[in-house]
A and B are shown apart, each in its own frame.
Chain A
């Protein structure tokens, strides 16, 4: 982002050094002081500190303003649900940095201070990585335990889940890898036996009861302590990173409640994942740790750099994929992503991944979540089924987005939204009742995905791997030839088809409920099931019809040509890409998840196909769709603005509106300004020379004005309602017996951005996007005509796209 607020920069550079170049810069600037008669000449006062900054200039040039010397607390902060001013924040940071750099030459202490300031960023990244990694490890361990709690309990230590309970046991058999005497299911504890219809009903009942209990606890905690902890969090984080403020969204209570209720929600068997909420958790950690460092606490723009890195950390701990996390933050979540953030995000993501692995929550020392151990090659002709999977993923993505948005809109507008707790309970009950009978939906979704990604070898004995054992001449278990499917495989196939339909429908209703919910894992599950079904189908087709033309060249009997596990992987990537419209980050996440570097080309083919098909059916991904549903002021940076409107078509006031509310630079009293503030609800006012000339002086924010007036009334003597407010540098002498004036030049922005009324709107939109503006003034022949705010632009874009412009809610 270029800083075109040259006023501030040139003033400060004049104060810091008196080289000739700085003088040249002043005269070269287009800020022209020489032609007016009511602005004092240039060599008068440089101590007004540039555009912002209440306080002394860098060299201690005494300020000629009469405000109190210390900055008024609250000036420069923002109201809730408002957009920040990126230009102001960035120039504040540059000033601060320049001050430290110049002071560092004075003493050793100042030098140490400047070094520690430079390192504070890295230290913060380290802390964010550690904290997020530790929290993610805790969440993983607790979620695994609580998921198994629905089925039974471990007798030699209730804190062990099923797998860990049977870890040391010698009673596990090849067929039933989970059996051990220490783990008792609820039927065994209550009824005494695990066989028979009564035991089945008891297991069923306990499963449903536990699921209902967990989800009830989750939704009550969210409702009672931190309502912002519900949902995925990624749409709101996207909006926050583009400059919006939502106070409390990344706070301590939200962090605690989100962590606790995420475990409860995942364990209750609902069809949701924990990746999106983990991004929210990581961003909360980032925000909380920012308060330890002044550099980040006071500056909203620097804080958003940390939050971009924290989003990368979130995905990194969710999947164990640090590179994929950084790319996810770059592609999906962040608005501005400078190169400095790239390196720091990577560092933080690595620290978090390392912390997570040292906690070792997966228990059996797996280093990635869904590790695949097969490396069988794939043939070029298999690209056709992969592309088919991509098409399926794209169609499913578009369908899911439409259905989910329709459901969420219904929740927002009708009576369905008045009963959040009841809604969660009903959905949990339906999910648990339908999921228990099918063993593929009863297990947790991550386990399902691992099983689907797994290629069947000699050592597997699950239902899906029940192939007829052809006599094997090769000994290695890697390259088993294609075998005919046994009866169990056919059972597994129709069970998986039922599971597919169930998951497709229930996820539509689950995502967006008032519990923390993510949708990466459910989408991957849908894709993995579809992929595996197609893979097994292809495998059997190749086995029974190996003399067909398409198989003849490369799939002779006895060769291992089709790997159903690979189809499952590709299907998972396709469905996830169709829903979120991720491209590079998805491919990188997938191959970091599975370790299968050979499979990049199939993954890319499927992801691209899925994105194209989904884009043809619906323009936005799920997160953009939710942003639009909520009416957040998010200026999409990926779309082109292609209409031929001009700035004067969009600016306010329109022809029928009252004229622009301005403040004159020296004519208004405190009372008049207060009444102007009270009557209108604008978030800022332009300051002009006079009502007749309408020549622009600057722009002042409403919040700063309010705080300064209030502060002046309390602290400064003599300031009453009749005192005049001056935004000029030099206040004229007051007549005797009049109250002392109030000087507010320090809170005014001396370099507001202006465009002429004939500027094309696509340039204006580009300026807003690239610079992160909140508002832009429109001039005509040098005189102030109107103002364009971000909200006006969003409304205009909505109107151009034939959407309802009143759906943009916030400023």
Chain B
């Protein structure tokens, strides 16, 4: 069938690319109930050319002439996976998630405490309100000032972080508080 042809092409391509783990291939044969034998599933890691009923179904539950009839009802499929990809993806995902959670905890809990300790109480009350478009020329200032170069690397990071925080705050206001976008 068309699917088998496509599948074979994909398999051969993946073969060329990588096939590291022999445990990552299997041939799965599903045999339905036959006469008085219950349905059974067989799993073996053999290659594609050996993936048929005679190689995989062991021990054969029927004898002699019945073997052919039994095997005709069975369906054998060759399957492949990449456990390395799965492992890598899950670990990468969990680490990114963990980092984001730590950063969130830091931003919400630790940073105000640290800032208060370092700079004293007076600076804590920053003008977190929108600097936004109350004057029409404030935005122009913003646009023009982006073209000037920064002096210090740390200043740059600090400035970028402040701008990002302000952006997130604006977004939060639009979405969560005023419900103007994405309601």
Give which listed residue, A228, A458, A631, A702, contacts B32 with CB less than 8 A: A458
A195 to B107, CA, bound (A): 45
Q: Which of B13-34 contact A (CB under 8 A)?
A: 13-14, 17, 23, 26, 30-33
Asked if A116 is at the interface (CB within 8 A of a chain B CB), the reply is no
Q: Which of A384-438 contact B (CB under 8 A)?
A: 408-409, 411-413, 417, 420
A168 lies within 8 A of B41 (CB): no
Q: Assuming the A-B contacts A145-B90, A157-B87, A231-B182, are A167 and B81 also in contact, with contact meaning beta carbons closer than 8 angstroms in the complex?
A: yes
Digit string of A136-161 for contact with B (CB within 8 Å is 1, else 0)? Answer: 01100110010000000000010110
B90 lies within 8 A of A177 (CB): no
Q: Assuming the A-B contacts A141-B85, A172-B41, A173-B41, are A357 and B183 also in contact, with contact meaning beta carbons closer than 8 angstroms in the complex?
A: no
A228 lies within 8 A of B171 (CB): yes
A360 lies within 8 A of B182 (CB): no
Digit string of B125-152 for contact with A (CB within 8 Å is 1, else 0)? Answer: 0000000010111011101101100000
The residue in chain A whose Cβ has the minimal distance to the Cβ of B141 is: A710
A709 to B69, CA, bound (A): 89
A364 lies within 8 A of B81 (CB): yes
Give which listed residue, B6, B43, B135, B168, contacts A170 with CB less than 8 A: B43
In the complex, chain A residues whose CB is within 8 Å of the CB of B167: 247-248
Digit string of A156-183 for contact with B (CB within 8 Å is 1, else 0)? Answer: 0101100010011110111101000000
Chain B's nearest CB lies how many Å from the CB of A702? 7
In the complex, chain B residues whose CB is within 8 Å of the CB of A411: 179, 183
In the complex, chain B residues whose CB is within 8 Å of the CB of A141: 85-86, 89-90
Give which listed residue, A220, A230, A420, A631, contacts B180 with CB less than 8 A: A631
A253 lies within 8 A of B86 (CB): no
Chain A's nearest CB lies how many Å from the CB of B108? 7
In the complex, chain A residues whose CB is within 8 Å of the CB of B140: 74, 703, 706-707, 709-711
Give which listed residue, B26, B39, B101, B139, contacts A168 with CB less than 8 A: B26
Give which listed residue, B14, B73, B144, contacts A74 with CB less than 8 A: B144
Q: Assuming the A-B contacts A164-B83, A169-B43, A228-B175, are A459 and B30 also in contact, with contact meaning beta carbons closer than 8 angstroms in the complex?
A: yes
Asked if A223 is at the interface (CB within 8 A of a chain B CB), the reply is yes
B171 lies within 8 A of A248 (CB): yes
A365 to B7, CA, bound (A): 8
In the complex, chain A residues whose CB is within 8 Å of the CB of B92: 138
In the complex, chain B residues whose CB is within 8 Å of the CB of A412: 179, 183
In the complex, chain B residues whose CB is within 8 Å of the CB of A168: 23, 26, 43, 45
Digit string of A684-704 for contact with B (CB within 8 Å is 1, else 0)? Answer: 000000000000000000110
B39 lies within 8 A of A360 (CB): no
Asked if B100 is at the interface (CB within 8 A of a chain A CB), the reply is yes
In the complex, chain A residues whose CB is within 8 Å of the CB of B174: 227
A172 to B31, CA, bound (A): 13
B39 lies within 8 A of A477 (CB): no
A227 lies within 8 A of B179 (CB): no
A365 lies within 8 A of B79 (CB): yes
Give which listed residue, B43, B101, B136, B137, contacts A217 with CB less than 8 A: B101
B143 lies within 8 A of A707 (CB): yes
Chain A's nearest CB lies how many Å from the CB of B7? 7
In the complex, chain A residues whose CB is within 8 Å of the CB of B23: 168
A260 lies within 8 A of B96 (CB): yes
In the complex, chain A residues whose CB is within 8 Å of the CB of B40: 173-174
In the complex, chain A residues whose CB is within 8 Å of the CB of B73: 458, 475, 477
In the complex, chain A residues whose CB is within 8 Å of the CB of B33: 174, 469
Interface size on B, residues (CB 8 A): 68
A301 to B157, CA, bound (A): 32
Asked if A246 is at the interface (CB within 8 A of a chain B CB), the reply is yes
A174 lies within 8 A of B41 (CB): yes
Chain B's nearest CB lies how many Å from the CB of A374? 12
Give which listed residue, A223, A253, A365, contacts B172 with CB less than 8 A: A223
Chain B's nearest CB lies how many Å from the CB of A454? 14
A164 to B97, CA, bound (A): 23
Asked if A258 is at the interface (CB within 8 A of a chain B CB), the reply is no
In the complex, chain A residues whose CB is within 8 Å of the CB of B85: 141, 359-360
A102 to B91, CA, bound (A): 52
Q: Assuming the A-B contacts A174-B39, A359-B85, are A706 and B10 also in contact, with contact meaning beta carbons closer than 8 angstroms in the complex?
A: no
Chain A's nearest CB lies how many Å from the CB of B37? 10
A413 to B91, CA, bound (A): 42
A678 lies within 8 A of B7 (CB): no
Chain A's nearest CB lies how many Å from the CB of B84? 10
Q: Which of B144-177 contact A (CB under 8 A)?
A: 144, 146-147, 164, 167-168, 171-172, 174-176
A141 to B101, CA, bound (A): 21
Residue among B38, B81, B92, B96 with the highest chain A CB neighbour number at 10 A: B81
B87 lies within 8 A of A159 (CB): yes
A135 to B6, CA, bound (A): 24
Give which listed residue, B10, B43, B86, B181, contacts A367 with CB less than 8 A: B10
Give which listed residue, B79, B136, B144, contacts A711 with CB less than 8 A: B144
Chain A's nearest CB lies how many Å from the CB of B112? 14
B26 lies within 8 A of A167 (CB): yes
A230 lies within 8 A of B182 (CB): yes
Q: Assuming the A-B contacts A164-B81, A630-B182, are A677 and B32 also in contact, with contact meaning beta carbons closer than 8 angstroms in the complex?
A: no
B32 lies within 8 A of A227 (CB): no
B182 lies within 8 A of A236 (CB): yes
Q: Which of A187-227 contact B (CB under 8 A)?
A: 217, 220-221, 223-227
A306 to B82, CA, bound (A): 32
Asked if B72 is at the interface (CB within 8 A of a chain A CB), the reply is yes
Asked if A714 is at the interface (CB within 8 A of a chain B CB), the reply is yes
Asked if B124 is at the interface (CB within 8 A of a chain A CB), the reply is no
In the complex, chain B residues whose CB is within 8 Å of the CB of A618: none
Give which listed residue, B72, B91, B176, contacts A223 with CB less than 8 A: B176
Asked if A649 is at the interface (CB within 8 A of a chain B CB), the reply is no
A141 to B87, CA, bound (A): 10
A236 to B175, CA, bound (A): 13
Asked if B104 is at the interface (CB within 8 A of a chain A CB), the reply is yes
A629 lies within 8 A of B183 (CB): yes
In the complex, chain A residues whose CB is within 8 Å of the CB of B66: none
Q: Assuming the A-B contacts A459-B30, A702-B136, are A224 and B108 also in contact, with contact meaning beta carbons closer than 8 angstroms in the complex?
A: yes
Asked if A73 is at the interface (CB within 8 A of a chain B CB), the reply is yes
A260 to B86, CA, bound (A): 16
A228 lies within 8 A of B176 (CB): no
B182 lies within 8 A of A417 (CB): no
B144 lies within 8 A of A253 (CB): no
Q: Assuming the A-B contacts A74-B143, A228-B171, are A706 and B136 also in contact, with contact meaning beta carbons closer than 8 angstroms in the complex?
A: yes
In the complex, chain A residues whose CB is within 8 Å of the CB of B179: 411-413, 417
In the complex, chain A residues whose CB is within 8 Å of the CB of B17: 358
Chain A's nearest CB lies how many Å from the CB of B61? 12
The residue in chain B whose Cβ has the minimal distance to the Cβ of A170 is: B43
Asked if A363 is at the interface (CB within 8 A of a chain B CB), the reply is yes
Give which listed residue, A174, A246, A263, A709, contacts B181 with CB less than 8 A: A246
Q: Assuming the A-B contacts A141-B85, A475-B73, are A221 and B136 also in contact, with contact meaning beta carbons closer than 8 angstroms in the complex?
A: no
The residue in chain B whose Cβ has the minimal distance to the Cβ of A706 is: B140
The residue in chain A whose Cβ has the minimal distance to the Cβ of B13 is: A358
Asked if B3 is at the interface (CB within 8 A of a chain A CB), the reply is yes
In the complex, chain A residues whose CB is within 8 Å of the CB of B183: 408-409, 411-412, 417, 512, 629-630
Asked if A461 is at the interface (CB within 8 A of a chain B CB), the reply is yes
Q: Assuming the A-B contacts A142-B93, A227-B176, are A477 and B32 also in contact, with contact meaning beta carbons closer than 8 angstroms in the complex?
A: yes
A809 to B179, CA, bound (A): 12
Digit string of B57-100 for contact with A (CB within 8 Å is 1, else 0)? Answer: 00000000000010011010001111101110111110011001
Q: Assuming the A-B contacts A225-B100, A710-B137, A711-B144, are A365 and B10 also in contact, with contact meaning beta carbons closer than 8 angstroms in the complex?
A: yes
Asked if A514 is at the interface (CB within 8 A of a chain B CB), the reply is yes
A629 to B179, CA, bound (A): 11
Asked if A79 is at the interface (CB within 8 A of a chain B CB), the reply is yes
6 A-B pairs, CB-CB below 8 angstroms?
A160-B86, A227-B168, A248-B171, A360-B85, A365-B81, A514-B176
By Cβ-Cβ distance, the 9 closest A-B pairs, closest first, are A174-B39, A74-B143, A159-B90, A227-B175, A458-B32, A412-B183, A710-B140, A227-B171, A412-B179
With A160-B86, A367-B7, A412-B179 known, 6 other A-B pairs at CB within 8 A are A167-B81, A174-B33, A221-B101, A228-B181, A417-B176, A629-B183
